[in-house]
Amino acid sequence: MQRFIFRHTQIVLGLLFLVLQTQCTAQSKTTMASKAPSEIIPAAARTAAYLPLLKGKNVAVFANQTSVVGNQHLVDVLKKAGVHISVIFGPEHGFRGNADAGENVTSNVDKETGITVVSLYGKKRKPSPEDVKGVDVLLFDIQDVGVRFYTYISSLQDYIEAAIQYNIPLIVLDRPNPNGFYVDGPVLEEPFKSFVGMQPVPVVYGMTIGEYAKMI
């Protein structure tokens, strides 16, 4: 059963690694243990918990069309809050989610925000030193589906490795796993590792993307 709690973790690499997880609210304290949560709040919506870490910083955002706070995109929410976004990184299907599966997505300037979008899908899977020049904080917020062969968790692993390589703090904003209530399927064997399966986990691995990040 997936857990909806708030946890901080620190890796002994000089790198701040923070996973802000989803929060659940129950109808009352007396029913907390006996009833399902009445509301699940994705970490991106918990702005009071992470905006103080972004104020006055140059921020790189790894996001796509699922990175929303209510009916607003996370990037718009951050801009309205006065956060300076230096660069946006996009996964498979692109930042706006309008590319087909496997389609080569080139880097571009987002028409709606005017911010440079660097594609991290295809031949280029990690930010280059030029991409993160002057960046103070890396932010990751993408809704996952909880199955091993979706590439978002592979992109997350590459993003974590880049954060370690460049010694830049990383914040992962967690979201619920729609398949987080069970684990099923064979565990990936090392010889078959690829971008559609990088870790020895079952096909359905039962973790949120934040918990997966902490496992990595």
**pLDDT digits over 172-210, tens only?**
999 999 999 999 999 999 999 999 999 999 999 999 999
What's 18's DSSP letter? E
* Residue at token pair 């925000």: 113
Question: Quick one: which of 117, 65, 50 has its CA closest to 86?
Answer: 117
Please report which helix (H) or strand (E) contains residue 137, including its range. Answer: strand 137-141
The contacts of residue 48 (CB under 8 Å, 6+ apart) are none
CATH numbers and ranges of domains, the chain: 9-215 (3.40.50.12170)
**Average pLDDT in the 210-215 region?**
94
CA-to-CA distance for 79 and 96, rounded, in angstroms?
17
Identify the pLDDT of residue 20.
85
Q: pLDDT-derived band of residue 101, with 50, 70 and 90 as boundaries?
A: low
